[in-house]
Amino acid sequence: MTRMLTMNAEKTGKGWTCRSIIAAAICLTAICVWATAPTPDESDQPRVDIIRIDGLKAFGQLERPAVTFLHQKHTEALAPKGKDCAACHLSGKDRMSFKYLRLEDQTRQAVMDVYHDNCIACHRQMRAASEKSGPVVCGECHVEKPAPSAWQAIEMDKSLHYRHVKARAQKCEQCHHVYDEAAKKLVYVKDKEGSCRYCHGETKVENRISYRAAAHSDCVNCHQAQLAKNLDAGPITCAGCHAAEQQKLIEVVKDVPRLKLNQPDLTLIRTREKDGKAEPLDRLNAVPFNHQAHEAANNSCRVCHHADLNACVSCHPPAGIEKGNFVSLQDSMHRIKAQMSCVGCHTTQQLSQPACAGCHKAIPPHKAQSQSTCLACHMEIPAGVDMQLDEKRVAEMLLEARRPDRHTYKPDDIPEIVEINSLSNQFGAVKLPHRKIISKLVAGIGENKLAAYFHRDSTTICQSCHHNSPVGSKPPKCASCHGKPFDAQDPFKPGLQAAYHIQCMDCHAQMGIAQPVSTNCSGCHQAKH
């Protein structure tokens, strides 16, 4: 490089030129990048075993970028040398620590020294033996851009939980515990076997370790103990749990027996607790809830019970309390964008199933709610139902009175063909198979009880297209709201042509109807000759 710069200077006869300075800068930059960047290898590809070593954040701001550590790659490199987990992990209290060569973090400097002294020393030893090894300088470990991750979360769903319950002979205490404040230790309490996530969050809080640390400590240690006894066990590698292709190989139990935790089969949504009994709703009718049916429809209790297994009202009373982040009972049940709320979960179902999404994708969720849909849950009390009876019996009687509805107007009252000719110019009128479409939508409800309970009126299906029209058997034409050119005073309301195309084509796309979306204009329009 020095010789090249000298030649440039000699050619100009005027010493350093702008060109030679730029060339020097480029060369120096290239050398620095080459010295600090990791060599291209399999680490440039998405991996499951990536661990970001950033434990020093517990002592303050990081001085250098976190280290990208490839766990499986190190495991495979140590295996031929007869080394296992103990080469990097100490054990205490009959279980392996997932910290590197330490049981606890003492000081910032001590943690740094553990990594620098041991990691670099191991790499240097391997290099001295002419073996392929890792980096030995700062810039090769502490890189700004981490390697891409292919890590996939894994949940303890009903199937996986049942397999563990069966394998461990229903000894729930082997995994579940609560903290006894008086005894200052972890204990098992029957019927309090909640999700690990109820106590263990994303980060460590005081002496309560993070969910990630708790899961790896309990799961991997247990699996290792089983394997040591030559018994069947779950995986102990990162990919075994967190690789998408490996997750597909996990055995799924189709008919999982119901997990009994003294939960009710049927109940009423409670507004408050009084002497252990639920009081009736203040302003609206009682809401019966089929708890058993919802269990069968979901893969985990955490879908609804996201904080604990108590009744919703314990965290979300009508006025809201700090324990429930001041979210009231009404909000907790009706928040559209909250997956654990009733309305939020139902909305997700509407938008995820093609038969439903064709209509519901076009209707803003807040406009999909009406007095009719409210009554699907907040049922009018049928004659003969005594609200003073046992709560379960009241819920049972209300649910028996709830009848699914899968009808609309009589076929003769539905126009068979609707001719759309208001925009006829280059193309002829569109002949919309109106009755056929309505029949298809009604048939799409099928055995879906959720849909059947909420399509309560004859006009409900009609509202999918006539979304802002008054309810009735003869809604006004689309042109009554959508002008031929769009309204400059209301730019969010599309013009008539855009309204037709958005409504029809988006519905077809959501429902997976290839025709006529995939064709040109002639799929719907007859060209004029």
Report the CATH superfamily, name and number, of domain 42-141.
Cytochrome C3 (3.90.10.10)
Q: Which residue has the higher pLDDT, 276 or 396?
A: 396
Least confident residue range of 20-34, 106-120, 305-319, 453-467: 20-34
Helix 18-36 × helix 2-12 angle, to 10°: 170
Residue 148 DSSP SS3: coil
Rounded mean pLDDT, 178-202: 92
Confidence at residue 367, expressed as pLDDT on a 0 to 100 scale: 64
Query: What topology is assigned to 158-247 in CATH?
Result: Cytochrome C3 (3.90.10)
Model pLDDT, residue 301? 93
| pLDDT given at position 470 | 80
Domain 266-401: CATH superfamily, name plus number: Cytochrome C3 (3.90.10.10)
529 — pLDDT class (breaks 50, 70, 90)? low
Residue 244 pLDDT exceeds 60: yes
pLDDT of residue 68: 92
In terms of Cβ atoms closer than 10 Å to its own Cβ (0-12, 13-18, 19+), residue 230 is exposed
CB contact burial 65-77 (16+ within 10 A = b; e otherwise): ebbbbbbbbbbeb
The Cβ of residue 357 has, within 10 Å, a number of other Cβ atoms equal to 19
Q: What is the pLDDT of residue 215?
A: 94
pLDDT score recorded for residue 5: 32
The pLDDT of residue 155 is 92
- pLDDT band at residue 65 under the 50/70/90 scheme: very high
Question: Whole-angstrom Cα distance, residue 478 to residue 469?
Answer: 9
pLDDT over 80 (residue 28): no
Reported as a single tens digit per residue, the pLDDT across 69-97 is 999 999 999 999 999 999 999 998 888 99
Distance between first and last Cα of the chain: 74
Averaged pLDDT, 503-520: 82
Say if residue 516 is preceded by a cis peptide, omega within 30 of 0.
yes
pTM of the model: 0.78
Q: Are 314 and 332 in contact (CB under 8 A)?
A: no
pLDDT digits (tens, 9 = 90+) for 395-407: 999 999 888 877 8
Q: Rounded to an integer, what distance in angstroms lies between the CA atom of residue 317 and that of residue 343? A: 18
**Annotated domain spans of the chain:** 2-36, 42-141, 158-247, 266-401, 411-523
* pLDDT at position 147: 86
- Do 411-523 and 42-141 have the same topology in CATH? yes
Of the CA atoms within 13 Å of residue 203, those in its CB half-sphere come to 6
Count of residues for the chain?
529
Architecture of domain 411-523: Alpha-Beta Complex (3.90)
pLDDT-derived band at 36 (thresholds 50, 70, 90) equals very low
Question: Would you say 424 and 521 are in contact if contact means Cβ atoms under 8 Å apart?
Answer: no
What's the mean per-residue pLDDT of the chain?
84
Beta strand 266-268 pairing with 185-187 = unpaired
Share of the chain above pLDDT 90, in %: 50
Closest to 419 measured CA to CA, from 427, 428, 435, 431 = 431
Nearest to 478 by CA among 461, 505, 497: 497
Provide the β-strand partners of residue 53: 67
pLDDT at 15: 40
**Which helix H or strand E contains 179, and what residues bound it?**
strand 178-180
Please tell me the predicted confidence (pLDDT) of residue 258.
93
pLDDT at 38: 44
361 pLDDT exceeds 70?
A: yes
| Band of pLDDT at residue 279, cut at 50, 70 and 90 | low
pLDDT at 401: 87
Mean pLDDT on 349-368: 82
pLDDT of residue 6: 35
Mind giving me the DSSP string for 413-443? GS-S-EEE-TT-SSB--EEE-HHHHHHHHHH
Concatenate the DSSP letters of all residues of 166-226 into one string.
HHTTT-GGGT--EEETTTTEEE--TT----GGGT--SS-BTTB--HHHHHIIIIIHHHHHH
Task: Dump pLDDT digits (tens) for 424-473.
Answer: 777 888 899 999 999 999 988 888 888 888 887 888 888 888 888 887 88
Give yes or no for residue 42 having a pLDDT over 80. no
